[in-house]
Amino acid sequence: MTTTFIITTLFVFLACSLSPDVGYCFGINYGQVANNLPQPEKVLVLLSTLNLTKTRIYDTNPQILTTFSKSNIEIIVTVENEILNQLDDPQQALQWVNSRVIPFLPNTKITGIQVGNEVFTDDDTTLLQHLVPAVINIYNALAQLGYSNIWVSTPSSLAVLETSYPPSAGSFKGEISSMMYQFLNFLATTKAPFWINAYPYFAYKDDPNSIPLDYVLFNPNVGMVDPNTNLHYDNMLYAMADAVSFSIAKMGFKGIEVRVSETGWPSRGDANEVGASPVNAATYNRNLLKRQMVNQGTPLNPRMRLEVYLFALFNEDLKPGPTSERNYGLFRPDESLTYNVGFSTLATPKTSASTSFSLASSSTKIKAVPKGSKNLVYWMFIYVLISILYV
């Protein structure tokens, strides 16, 4: 690894966490299926120290929403799948919004509501009939209460697609097309985004002999050219996102933005979970975040930054399923990094005004730094970086 590459990587991550102009470089999913996670107060300090301003939770946890009050963190909340059948009643939806969302506004920056999670492909097929009514009712309740600025949508897995390769051939499965049309019509009317949970890891795990690892990890590679559009793809995540965009267009809709609600890579897995490792997880997230820092779009929409939420903030020890499910976190529950993605730590002892920075190792905890120190350290780093690269 060259000195220039190391310095460039450090620059990307320091800029993300220190720059007064950047503000944020990605969103992150804050899952809570665990019994050993830090209290929300500590999580808020962690996110603020990293200068992350966007997160999603998988419920409407009042402790989290209260703790994040008057912070600069924008939060997406989620309606649990289990109560969707109640919310196709407009009065029940209004009551849910009044009790779960309104008490925390406007001090807590709730920017969006995800109604369910992967409902289109859930094993409980009865859920789907309740989805669009619930989405509409929650949106109408928000509008009635003066909060139509909060978008309403639902995240889907890539399994909603019948075809995803090449991207231009993307199309939704026939059995969900009727309900999907209704949902897309709602998104087009309210200008809300279509969210997709996209994991190149799963594709690689299932077919490692045919899918190049560099292609899924954003490493340099020859990529692929869509024969119908001549668009060149050098990574699978962008191909997945564009396959969804083409699928939406084939349903007759234009202008619906596709965003990534979940993506990530596990640092551990079972023996049959090919590719799950700290090295691959660090590479995937590092390379993705470098692209996020330069506001990169997909080949189909190069001028529109692809908004991405990483999965996940913490390893979650109570998640069911294979080992990988419990090992997507950038951090362990003790707030140490699971693997080194290049985050810089700024440690300022309470008894000293001095400031120092170093690359965080897998055993290092992220520590808070006073806001007043960030701008100075950032520009000092820029000066050092330029000196090293060009002297």
Task: Point out the residues that are catalytic.
Answer: 118, 262
Query: How many angstroms separate the CA atoms of 281 and 259, rounded?
Result: 21
Query: How many angstroms separate the CA atoms of 43 and 69, rounded?
Result: 13
**Residue 110 has which token pair?**
């709730």
Order of all β-strands in the sheet with 54-56: 151-153, 109-115, 74-79, 54-56, 27-29, 308-310, 258-263, 194-197, 155-157
Long-range contacts of 312-316 (CB under 8 A, 24+ apart): 312/28, 312/29, 312/30, 312/31, 312/264, 313/28, 313/29, 313/30, 313/31, 313/43, 313/55, 314/30, 314/31, 314/34, 314/37, 315/34, 316/31, 316/32, 316/33, 316/34, 316/37
Residue 225: strand pairing partners: 232
Query: What letter represents residue 145's amino acid?
Result: L
Is 180 strand, coil or helix?
helix
